[in-house]
Amino acid sequence: MPSLIKNLFLFICVVLTSDIVSAQLIFQNLNNVAIEIEAPVTSGLKKIYVLPYIDGVGIGVENVDAKWQRFSAMGAAYAEDVESVNDGNTSLLRKPEGNVGYAVTIDGKTDYYWIVNHSAYPFALRDINLNPADSDCLTSFLNVDGEGERIPYYSITGLPQWLDRGLELTYSTLEFDKENFAYIQIEKTEIINGFSDEIIHCTAPLCQTDFTLVGDRFLKQWGQAETVTSPVYDPTSVAMETRATQTPRENDNEIKVESTLGGSGPVEITFEGAVSDAAIFHEWEMARDADFQQIFMRSPELEFTYTFREQGTVYVRMTVANDDGTCETSGETYEVFVGESQLKCPNAFSPGTSPGVNDEWKVSYKSIIEFECHIFDRQGRRLAHLTEPSQGWDGKRGGKTVGPGVYFYVIHAKGADGKNYNLSGDINVIGHTQRKTTNDATE
């Protein structure tokens, strides 16, 4: 039977019987524990065991009738019988090999294991240093003086797979605290699977830090981990977060304009930025195009407030860079839209007749940036002077409500779109007619 078909047949048999309780390997003459690792289902292996050494170690199962076979990287289809001895109720291999697989058959059920001799895969950490030539704004590359390749093992079909070394690389960096809108220093650990070319990499740190490498995960579990620490390095990578907060305005006579930022002008917005340690240069930019080719305003401040008074869309963003400009990034682009202007004047209201209902004369407006209104009676006496479109006339003169009749307004205003308004017209004050009460029998 061709080897590929034979191995595939073995794998299918293993999958179909995987729910049966497996034998548990036991180890003799080990000063440290055997590290048990769950094997991927696709490997056909029940377990992987990592031993610190193999010389003098015994491997067994608690069943004297167990049958043992050994297989190599070629797969379990080429397994060879291995002689075992009985030690009490244990079937034991007195001189097992490392970095091979074992098939253990009990009562017709076969389980497959891979035994790793850790000492056959050298691991050492002697020094670690930043490699500035290869590092960039996103990734820091580190030169490691040592050995730490990943450890191979093989599935029952002979496919090579790898155990990660699980090295821990620890360094300081910055993390954005959204609640306080600031970067705070944290300690970060990244897991390095292994290294073969004496170079490892991690996310570029955002603050001054050293790098500590500890490993591997097997030596660490045995209490023999090796550790190296680099010198302290200054950051070159930059990061930023921004936010824009519009000053709310609730005027009942202002026509609303649907917009995430902006609306009816004038619009006041506060822009804030938080930057990492290396972001020495920071600048807000305002432009009339999304590509920022038509920039009309710049601000080096991290926080500033701006009032948008012109109709149209303005694009706002912050750009940061390190001291030599090798690392640069721009933040979110905010679109501020101010709608076209509109101004309408009512011709009647009824002050003092039904409180809260049509008892104040106000214009209806949007995007009015300049406003002046004068209200007169029929004799030309000025009754009110309004300087904001949100203001209204309560129908009073000298603290008293005027009588019903016709009054006049004159308005000079300007819209965010540059449109000038010169309006005048009548204001009809409507009041209830007071009926005189008499003692007459008829009305």
Q: What pLDDT score was predicted for residue 112?
A: 97
Q: What pLDDT score was predicted for residue 5?
A: 46
Place 197 in a pLDDT band, splitting at 50, 70 and 90: confident
State whether 362 and 319 are in the same domain: no
Report which of 229, 69, 243 is spatially closest to residue 156, judged by C-alpha positions: 69
Q: What pLDDT score was predicted for residue 192?
A: 94
pLDDT tens readout for residues 203-255: 999 999 999 999 999 999 999 999 999 999 999 999 999 999 999 999 999 99
Q: What pLDDT score was predicted for residue 438?
A: 35
Q: Which of 282, 316, 338 is the last residue of a domain?
A: 338
Could you write out the DSSP letters of every residue in 178-209? TTTTEEEEEEEEEEE--BSSSEEEEEPPSSSB
Asked, for residue 438, whether it belongs to a domain, the answer is no
State whether 348 and 332 are in the same domain: no
Report which of 100, 141, 98, 133 is spatially closest to residue 117, judged by C-alpha positions: 98
Q: What pLDDT score was predicted for residue 432?
A: 57
Question: Is residue 34's pLDDT more than 60?
Answer: yes
Report which of 383, 442, 387 is spatially closest to residue 411, judged by C-alpha positions: 387
pLDDT tens readout for residues 303-329: 999 999 999 999 999 999 999 999 999
Inter-CA distances, 34 with 31, 54, 141, 427, Å: 9, 11, 34, 95
State whether 65 and 172 are in the same domain: no
The tokens describing 395, both together, are 């129908």
pLDDT tens readout for residues 89-141: 999 999 999 999 999 999 999 999 999 999 999 999 999 999 999 999 999 99
State whether 47 and 146 are in the same domain: no
Residue 353 structural domain: 343-429
Give me the CATH number covering residue 81: 2.60.40
Asked, for residue 18, whether it belongs to a domain, the answer is yes
At residue 343, what is the residue type?
Answer: L
State whether 129 and 218 are in the same domain: yes
Asked, for residue 435, whether it belongs to a domain, the answer is no
Q: Which of 72, 104, 120 is the last residue of a domain?
A: 120
- Output 93 or 6, whichever has higher pLDDT: 93
Place 19 in a pLDDT band, splitting at 50, 70 and 90: very low
State whether 225 and 262 are in the same domain: no
Question: Is residue 8's pLDDT more than 90?
Answer: no
Residue listed under structure tokens 């036991």? 26
Asked, for residue 88, whether it belongs to a domain, the answer is yes
Give me the CATH number covering residue 399: 2.60.40.1220
pLDDT tens readout for residues 388-437: 999 999 999 989 999 999 999 999 999 999 999 999 999 999 985 443 43
Tell me what the pLDDT averaged over the chain comes to.
Answer: 91
Cβ proximity of 217 and 239 under 8 Å: no
> pTM for this structure?
0.81
Place 23 in a pLDDT band, splitting at 50, 70 and 90: low
- Which range of 250-259, 326-335, 349-358 scores highest in mean pLDDT? It is 326-335
Can you give the C-alpha Rg of the chain in angstroms? Answer: 41
State whether 135 and 196 are in the same domain: yes
Q: Which of 293, 323, 338 is the last residue of a domain?
A: 338
State whether 29 and 109 are in the same domain: yes
Q: How many domains does the chain divide into?
A: 4
State whether 224 and 152 are in the same domain: yes
Q: Which residues have C-beta within 8 Å of that of residue 324, sequence separation ≥ 6?
A: none
Cβ proximity of 168 and 157 under 8 Å: no
- Output 8 or 317, whichever has higher pLDDT: 317
Query: What is the C-alpha separation between 49 and 117, in angstroms, rounded?
Result: 9
Asked, for residue 155, whether it belongs to a domain, the answer is yes
State whether 333 and 356 are in the same domain: no
State whether 145 and 220 are in the same domain: yes
State whether 161 and 107 are in the same domain: no
375, burial (CB in 10 Å: exposed 0-12, middle 13-18, buried 19+): buried
The DSSP element (H or E) to which 13 belongs, if any, is helix 3-16
Question: Is residue 186's pLDDT more than 50?
Answer: yes
At residue 91, what is the residue type?
Answer: S
The tokens describing 259, both together, are 């917009």
The tokens describing 68, both together, are 């043992």
Residue listed under structure tokens 């009738």? 65
Neighbours of 208 (CB within 10 A): 13
Asked, for residue 10, whether it belongs to a domain, the answer is yes
Asked, for residue 36, whether it belongs to a domain, the answer is yes
